[in-house]
């Protein structure tokens, strides 16, 4: 019983240190083991701040155990590198279940899954918009791991209380096969990703929204006393990510949180002389849950994420 902190250390095949700062609260009464990670992407700051604050403010008068990796991608955090790990240029949330004999990121994801996530009763992965992303708060859960795991994963997403929930599948239009939450679910651990905040800010409202969601889920699973709040949410079964086929200057014509219709103009791209080289048109009716905020675009750069109902 009580609170503890430690640095878990592993090593890649090239003998580079992989560090996970792990904080743990062991409750005075029996209950579930909940694993929380933040900073899979090192520049998504509100989730990191909320994870640390949760550890600081919870005491051991809880049921069960809460294990928190406060900054999962320490190398990305310390170098202020968005999206990817600076060691090998790979996005950790695309390389699960990992490979201990692979590159740095592959080893990192392997050890996180096998040494921290597996064996938990529930798993919550805290995210937000990265340095160049504006974001409408939303949760993501996996479908296809079995009725019981799917139900519990959805309940994590639901009780987190964010207004939008997107259900994804292993080989769907936006496949989730390389992600934290899908691999946890496929290994018997109900899981969800929760997204709040963005554009490199650690704003207090986003931190508080993460904290409220965490505490509500912990009430639902029985770690904290009290009844969870029943939120109002919109559930989406499709997730469309839109990329630009052209490099150039990005002129966005919509806003995050907007509903768009198929055929709407989302943005246009100009070359470096101001010539319009192409339009970005919405392929679906749905809600813009994230978009890129900087004008500089290379070919195949990600521009938008639209949640929709299939």
Q: pLDDT value at position 1?
A: 80
pLDDT digits (tens, 9 = 90+) for 54-86: 999 999 999 999 999 999 999 999 999 999 999
* Distance between CA atoms of residues 70 and 48, nearest Å: 6
Q: Where are the domains of the chain?
A: 2-235, 240-308
Residue 94: DSSP 8-state: G
In degrees to the nearest 10, what's the CA dihedral of 69, 74, 80, 85? Answer: -110
- Mean pLDDT of the region 13-29: 97
Give the SS3 label for residue 125.
strand
* Distance between CA atoms of residues 138 and 222, nearest Å: 23
The CATH fold assigned to 2-235 is Aminopeptidase (3.40.630)
pLDDT interval class at 114 (50, 70, 90): very high
* Distance between CA atoms of residues 222 and 214, nearest Å: 12
**Quick check: pTM over 0.85?**
yes
- Mean pLDDT of the region 90-108: 98
Q: pLDDT value at position 9?
A: 98
CB neighbourhood size of 276 (10 A): 11
The answer as to CATH 2.40.50.100 being correct for domain 240-308 is yes
- Mean pLDDT of the region 149-155: 98
pLDDT interval class at 87 (50, 70, 90): very high
pLDDT interval class at 264 (50, 70, 90): very high
């Amino acid at each position: 019983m009580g609170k503890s902190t430690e640095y878990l250390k592993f090593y890649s095949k090239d003998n580079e240190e992989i560090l996970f700062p792990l904080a743990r609260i062991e409750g005075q009464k029996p209950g579930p083991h909940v694993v929380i990670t933040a900073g899979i992407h090192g520049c998504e700051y509100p989730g990191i701040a909320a994870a640390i604050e949760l550890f600081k403010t919870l005491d051991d008068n809880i049921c069960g155990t809460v294990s928190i990796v406060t900054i999962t991608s320490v190398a990305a955090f310390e170098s202020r590198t968005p999206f990817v790990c600076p060691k090998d240029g790979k996005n950790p949330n695309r390389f699960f279940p990992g490979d201990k004999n692979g590159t740095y990121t592959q080893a990192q994801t392997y050890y996180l899954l096998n040494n921290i996530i597996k064996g938990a009763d529930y798993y919550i992965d805290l995210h937000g918009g990265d340095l160049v992303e504006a974001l409408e708060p939303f949760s993501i859960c996996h479908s296809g791991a079995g009725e019981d795991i799917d139900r519990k994963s959805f309940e994590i997403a639901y009780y987190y209380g964010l207004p939008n929930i997107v259900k994804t599948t292993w080989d769907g239009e936006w496949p989730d096969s390389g992600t934290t939450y899908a691999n946890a679910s496929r290994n018997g651990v109900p899981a969800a990703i929760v997204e709040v905040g963005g554009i490199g800010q650690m704003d207090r409202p986003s931190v508080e929204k993460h904290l409220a969601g965490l505490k509500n889920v912990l009430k639902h699973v029985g770690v904290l006393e009290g009844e969870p709040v029943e939120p109002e949410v919109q559930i989406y079964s499709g997730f469309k990510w839109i990329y630009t086929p052209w490099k150039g200057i990005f002129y966005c014509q919509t806003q995050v949180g907007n509903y768009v219709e198929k055929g709407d103009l989302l943005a246009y791209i100009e070359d470096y002389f101001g010539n319009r080289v192409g339009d970005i048109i919405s392929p679906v009716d749905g809600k813009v849950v994230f978009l890129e905020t900087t004008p500089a675009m290379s070919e195949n750069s990600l521009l938008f994420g639209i949640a929709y109902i299939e």
